[in-house]
Amino acid sequence: MHIIDVNSQILKENSRLAEENKKLFAKYDLHVTNFMSAPGAGKTTVLEETIKRISSKYKISVIEGDLRTSIDSERIEALNIPSYQITTGTVCHLDARMIHNALHDFKLEGSDLLFIENVGNLVCPADFELGEDLKAMVFSVVEGAEKPKKYPVMFHSVEVVLLNKIDLIPYSGVSLEELISNVKEVNPSAKIFPISCRTGEGIDEWIDWFIGKINSK
């Protein structure tokens, strides 16, 4: 019997690859955003609305993560934006290696911004660094005001929370005030934008903040 003091981070390999990704992004002078949310909260729609408003000023590339299909990637390509689809099979999140491998095929030279859409999942993606500059979360307000308290880890891990689908609030009975106060409780320093991709409400505010963020890098 012999005890070995391992004292090792379980995700150290992921952290190492995330650092490598970061170096590569820095080499291309790219600003990278990781968009996370539960399935269907509106990540792809937020990307579309954001792209439509800023693609004349910035050259954008997108990496899409999904369990299956390249539907989201096709939606992005329809806007004439280069997009690379990662299909993860059964894996419920993107990790640094998947991004690393994607970068072998997907050329980022000349891009200013990279948007990464993570796999729709409210828990797992938050544990995996990708080498990004900014973590953003999209949350569909109709899912309920208590969700930040039930799933605090992802809410806590991001710098900005987009509370999407506020056009549906009148039909949902959800209190936006209560939701915002719960997000603040779990992440007091988060920037919070109530938005609707349907009506366009709040999108300009999000974009102004985001552009400020890019410029301050």
Partner 1 sequence: MHEVGIAQSILTIVEKEADKSGASNVKRVKLIVGEFTGVVKESLEFALDIVKKNTSAQNAEFIIETVKLKTYCQECDKTFIGKDDAHFLCPDCSGILGIVEGKELKIEFIDVE
* Site residues for partner 1 per CB under 8 A: 1-14, 91-93, 95, 123-124, 126-128, 149, 152-154, 156, 184-189
> Which conformational region is residue 157 in: left (phi greater than 0), alpha (psi within -120 to 50 degrees), or beta?
alpha
Is 32 in contact with 134 (CB distance < 8 Å)? yes
Rounded CA-CA distance 35/43 in Å is 7
Q: Least separation, in Å, of the C-beta of 60 and Mg ion?
A: 16
Residue nearest to ligand GTP (CB): 120
Pick from Mg ion, ligand GTP, partner 1, none: which does 169 bind, CB < 5 to 8 A by kind? none
Instruction: Indicate whether 148 belongs to the interface with ligand GTP (CB under 6 A).
Output: no
Q: Which of 19, 26, 40, 150 binds ligand GTP (CB under 6 A)?
A: 40
* Contact flags string 104-133 toward ligand GTP, x per CB under 6 A: ----------------x-------------
Q: Which of 72, 129, 132, 143 binds Mg ion (CB under 5 A)?
A: 72
Q: Classify the C-alpha dihedral 125-130-135-139 as positive or negative.
A: negative
Which distant-in-sequence residues (6+ apart) come within 8 Å of 197 by Cβ?
42, 45, 46, 48, 49, 164, 165, 203
Q: Least separation, in Å, of the C-beta of 101 and ligand GTP?
A: 20
Q: With respect to Mg ion, which residue has the nearer C-beta, 47 or 180?
A: 47
Instruction: Read off the DSSP letter of residue 141.
Output: G
* Contact flags string 167-206 toward Mg ion, x per CB under 5 A: ----------------------------------------
Q: With respect to ligand GTP, which residue has the nearer C-beta, 159 or 201?
A: 201
**Part in contact with ligand GTP (CB under 6 A); list of ranges 52-60, 84-92, 145-153, 163-171:** 163-171
Rounded CA-CA distance 212/206 in Å is 10
Instruction: Indicate whether 165 belongs to the interface with Mg ion (CB under 5 A).
Output: no
Is 33 in contact with 63 (CB distance < 8 Å)? no
Instruction: Indicate whether 162 belongs to the interface with ligand GTP (CB under 6 A).
Output: no
Q: Which amino acid is at 81?
A: I
How many residues in the chain?
Answer: 217
Q: Which of 14, 44, 31 is nearest to 118 (CA)?
A: 44
Tokens (6 digits) for 77: 């390509």
Binding site for ligand GTP (CB under 6 A): 37, 39-45, 72, 120, 164-165, 167-168, 196-198
